[in-house]
Amino acid sequence: MRAGPGSSMFGRQGLPLFATYLIWGTGSGAQTLGRSLFAFELENSIFLVTLLFAALGASRIISAPLTGFLTDRVGRKPLAVIGAFLRGAASFGVLYIDSYAAFFVLELIGNTGVSMWQT
């Protein structure tokens, strides 16, 4: 089934979608660099920076199926709001910490929140 001539996703109608993902990707890349530099500054260890990002991947593997199950039970909107709140609270909490362990825990909580609104 073909769409009409004015509905190309590479035209004006698709521009907001592409712009959103461009901005999101740029911001996510900047945050990833900032988080790794902050983790390195706290403990001065490349191993712990790598451990942090491995644990973030593991937290998504664990929280994504749980979020999918809860989405079927309570709906998508409440979990998206809770997930955004978790990520925001964790990001705000990072402003007041000075240890790698606290940063690690806050990043796990925040990444669980991201998984909640991406699932």
Instruction: Indicate whether 3 belongs to any domain.
Output: no
Instruction: Find the domain containing 59 and state its range.
Output: 15-118
User: Into how many domains does the chain fold?
Assistant: 1
**Predicted pLDDT at 119:** 64
Instruction: Indicate whether 40 belongs to any domain.
Output: yes
**Predicted pLDDT at 72:** 87
Distance in angstroms (rounded) separating the CA atoms of residues 91 and 13: 33
**Predicted pLDDT at 104:** 92
**Predicted pLDDT at 67:** 87
Average pLDDT per run of 10 along the chain, which is 119 residues long? 58 79 79 82 88 86 87 88 91 91 91 82
pTM of the model: 0.74
Count other C-beta atoms under 10 Å from residue 116's C-beta: 26
**Predicted pLDDT at 63:** 87
